[in-house]
Amino acid sequence: MKIVVITSSPHPKNESTSIYLADRFTEGAKSAGHEVFTFDAANTDTHPCRGCDKCAMDGPCVFKDDIENTLMPKMLEADLIVLTTPLYYFGMSAQLKIIVDRFYSRTSKLHGKKSIMMATAYNSADWTMEALSNHYDTLVRYMEWTDVGQVWATGCGARSLVEKSEFANMAYKIGANL
């Protein structure tokens, strides 16, 4: 499979909890022979959709940034899209939401993909991921995607916590078992 992994944490790669999960997933997916392209939504040239509708939901986008030039071509040819984010006020990071809103320019062309969602959070209450999980379910439904895995890493507000958590292996196994 061709896989696109989108990371969206502003933390350095070796300190981020959500990028750690993305890396473990990638390790697993590569071990199973899949091709993985990773896009760093926090450190690339991205712009939020401005709703101009020049794309008429069918591309191209007026912005000639890294989303349009680099990410979108990879997403269009991908079999599987993996969204990863730190939990920010019980939703996805703004960095990831910018990417998601830009799906607008190719909504129907992105139909039919497989998808995975992984998020990390400091809190560990059972409702911590509820709003984001509901958002993801709705996104999958609207985009006509098929969910093939979710990792909701609560209680993972620091790198050392996620590294020794069950979620690290969960991410690896989802990749390795694709």
**Cβ at position 149, least distance to ligand FMN in Å:** 18
Q: Residue 108 or 169: which CB sits closer to ligand FMN?
A: 169
**Cβ at position 98, least distance to ligand FMN in Å:** 15
Write the CA distances from 168 to 1, 71, 172, integer angstroms.
22, 26, 6
**Cβ at position 82, least distance to ligand FMN in Å:** 14
Query: Residue of minimal CB distance from ligand FMN?
Result: 86
CB 74 within 8 A of CB 39: yes
DSSP code of residue 90: T
Chain contacts with ligand FMN (rule: CB under 6 A): 9, 11, 16-19, 86-90, 120-123, 128, 156-157
Give the other-Cβ count within 10 Å of 146's Cβ: 11
Q: Residue 9 or 46: which CB sits closer to ligand FMN?
A: 9
Six token digits for residue 74: 């990879």
